Structure 1
Amino acid sequence: MNSKNLQGKSILVVAGDYPYPPNHGMVVDIWNRILILEKIGLKIDLICTVKGNTDSLDKSEIVKHVNHFWIVNRKNRVIDLLSKETIQVKSRVALSRLVINQHYDYLLLEADYVAEILNNKTITYDYAILRSHNNEGVYYKNLGESTPNIFKKFYYFSEAFKFSKTEPALLKKVKNVLFVSMDEKKRYDKQLKGINTLFLPPVIKLETKSRELDNKTVLFIGSLYIDNNREGIQYYIRNVHPYLSQLDGYKFIMAGNTKHHKLQWIDDILRINKNVTFYDTPDDLEPLYAQASVFLNPMLHGAGVKLKTVEAIVNGLPVVCFPTGIEGTGLQQGIGNLTARNAEEMRRYFEKLLTGTSTEKQDIVRKGQKFITKNYDAERLLSNFLSSL
């Protein structure tokens, strides 16, 4: 690890969302990376963009880890649907006007959404780096396919088309790209020449946990306001949950970030199913992992790496999913997960795990944890990458 020559160097991290508390996929990744950057000795400044009132945001923990901290408001306008830029980028245009007057060794863009920071004339830097959390064009296309709402469908497909045009241009402009997905890194390496790429998996705390796994509780943790998670959970409730409900002692725990919105589809599930428990935006996920024996990743559509799958394995649970649930992770069948091709196969895998011995489940988990420990040392990878620039 080449962290000695990074001591005292400066980095400006620009995040498209508020990174604390880290209670859903991308935010977990951003927050853990901030902690890694601090650990390897960089002086960190942070800009994050938020929508709405900022008074309730917890700033106390963030200021412990960064030197300077700015919050920029996002503004969504209907007229921006006509822009060549995506709504996600246009809503953060205030990034270009923020007055900082500072030079940095590194500028880290957390996703394409914050590309407007490159137009800020008060910031200079030696190296710009993009964290590619998703192939955004593919991601929004999948969201469009997941939602039944015609207005959302139009918005998602519009964003998908715009990202498909702007994303390659941004990659060429920034040149240094940290891909969260090995699959997407390989794809862009073939398509674009002259960019410096690295597969940087999500910043996972490699403190793996072992659990008894002696109950019949299935757990889902994820962003509940995202349509591809909603679609996957509803599919599970319709096609798998009724079958598993015949098992004595079976329960399903559903937890995640709702952005404090009332979601009718969750209320519908809870009204009909007495063996489903819901936790809205929990601050601490450990008690939830401790209650469960198997983790569900039901996603049918998606892009990038599936952080919820990796986190579940590190936290001691075997995962049952469809192929989308392990995309970009490098995981194979039987290594931390059982990947189903259809609902019938998913039912069989859940029954096998829920009625099987703890030893069988723990063996699957250990194989996954061994793979992740070997290939997901983000501190080493990131330190070497920054040192090499």
Structure 2
Amino acid sequence: MSDHHLHIVSFDVPFPPNYGGVIDVFYKIRALHQHGIRLHLHIFEYPGRDRASELEAYCEEVFYYSRKTGIGSAFSFIPYIVKSRRSESLMNNLLKDKYPVLFEGMHSCYYLGDPRLRNRKLIYRESNIEHEYYINLFAAEHRLVKKAYFLVESMKLRFFQQKLKHAGLMLVVSESDTDYLKKVFPEKDIRFLPSFHANDAVSIEAGCGDYALYHGNIEVPENEAAVEFLIRKVFAGSKHRLIIAGMNPQKRIIELAKPHANISIIANPDDEKLFSLIRNAHVNVLVTFQATGLKLKLLNTLYNGRHCLVNPLMLNGTGLEPLCVIAETAEEFRNKLDELQDIPFTVSAAEKRHELLDQTFSNSGNAARLAEAVFGS
């Protein structure tokens, strides 16, 4: 164990690691612990995710703080996702020492510009260009109240982005987001560091499957729009079978799929079921209409699934183009599905994936890069 200590401020309880943001946080914590970094974890919690004793195996200390949700946090020029994550107890704990502080996502950055932290090394861990992410949620959302919330929050987030100038180091999940932040903050130390994830090695079943799979949290408007596109434009009337697996599909999505005998929905699969669906699919189809961040489900699919058919926005800034089949229009998706139908996935293709993924997306390698960026060793 080294003498390097690091505070991490997390926007949510990062265990279980079962959705995008907390996956990066949890596997980063695990990898940094294995690298010998001594971690002091600060977590904003709220109903729906329990405290996790599992985190104590990787951290010197774990502190929990309640989110300040409600009207008091909503009526502010500070974004709701930021204003609701404030606690003087957190600040008091950070001021007990002089260790560096890593803020996970803009959500956790309420204290990033606080004068009491002026002489500390402060690190911003980017997960999205948040104001762009929220304006895309606004465009995808059907409900008027939610649309209004996403629009207002997007404007607040764009204004709040300037607070990132107080970070001495920014660690960014995609190359395109890195380029964007370097243009906005040309004087800052900004580095590409991909998301941490659950996979230590490629594990793919060679051969063929008999269905295509789309998976994701269908509650999120971005994913709901992707599912609607696949049902209406790609698989309706197709000979190809599609399974949609995800959390809490809306009633309108269930009704949309119902008339099509080749389309089925599996709601809220557990981890074991979802892993089996990914491994046994012939083609994993991934679509997004958001160009920000790194889609962790893309990484998970490339480590565990056969053919991966995606649209260009899914790959934005990842460098993973050589490992995927790319389509943009509905017609291109249908043509690529036809082409892949009788092509087995091979051991040599799996080896190619391992070689490329290990260069850039190795958790242990990226923990070493993070430690070097923060501590110089």
- 1:327 equivalent in alignment to 2:316: yes
Residue 313 of structure 1 aligns with which residue? 302
The one of 351, 356, 370 equivalent to 1:382 is: 370
Residue 356 of structure 2 aligns with which residue? 371
SS at match of 2:62: strand
1:222 and 1:229 in contact (8 A); partners too: yes
2:42 and 2:90 in contact (8 A); partners too: no
TM-aligned CA distance change 1:265 to 1:13, over 3 Å: farther
TM-aligned CA distance change 1:47 to 1:95, over 3 Å: farther
SS at match of 1:172: helix
1:332-371 CA distance string (max 9 Å, x none): 2xx2212212111011112222x12214x66655544432
TM-aligned CA distance change 1:311 to 1:82, over 3 Å: same
The one of 50, 60, 64 equivalent to 1:67 is: 60
Residue 3 of structure 1 aligns with which residue? none
In the TM superposition, what are the counterparts of 1:161-310 in structure 2 within 5 Å?
Answer: 161-167=155-161, 169-204=162-197, 205-244=199-238, 246-247=239-240, 250-256=241-247, 258=248, 263-269=250-256, 271-273=258-260, 275-280=263-268, 282-284=270-272, 285-310=274-299
1:216 and 1:251 in contact (8 A); partners too: no
Opposite residue 314 of structure 1, the aligned amino acid is Y
Q: CA deviation at 1:132?
A: 0.4
Q: CA deviation at 1:322?
A: 1.5
SS at match of 1:178: strand
Residue 83 of structure 1 aligns with which residue? 76
SS at match of 2:87: helix
SS at match of 1:233: helix
Residue 146 of structure 1 aligns with which residue? 140
1:243 and 1:347 in contact (8 A); partners too: no
The one of 99, 105, 109 equivalent to 1:105 is: 99
SS at match of 1:113: helix
TM-aligned CA distance change 1:213 to 1:117, over 3 Å: farther
In the TM superposition, what are the counterparts of 1:341-352 in structure 2 within 5 Å?
Answer: 341-352=328-339
Residue 358 of structure 1 aligns with which residue? 344
TM-score normalized with structure 2 length: 0.88
Q: CA deviation at 1:287?
A: 2.2
Q: CA deviation at 1:116?
A: 2.0
Q: CA deviation at 1:315?
A: 1.5
Q: CA deviation at 1:60?
A: 2.9
SS at match of 1:358: coil
Q: CA deviation at 1:271?
A: 4.3
Q: CA deviation at 1:175?
A: 2.3
| CA–CA distance in structure 2, aligned partners of residues 124 and 109 of structure 1 | 15
TM-aligned CA distance change 1:44 to 1:60, over 3 Å: same
Q: CA deviation at 1:141?
A: 1.0
SS at match of 2:317: coil
- 1:27 equivalent in alignment to 2:14: no
The percentage of counterpart residues that share the same residue type is 22
2:309 and 2:327 in contact (8 A); partners too: yes
Opposite residue 50 of structure 1, the aligned amino acid is E
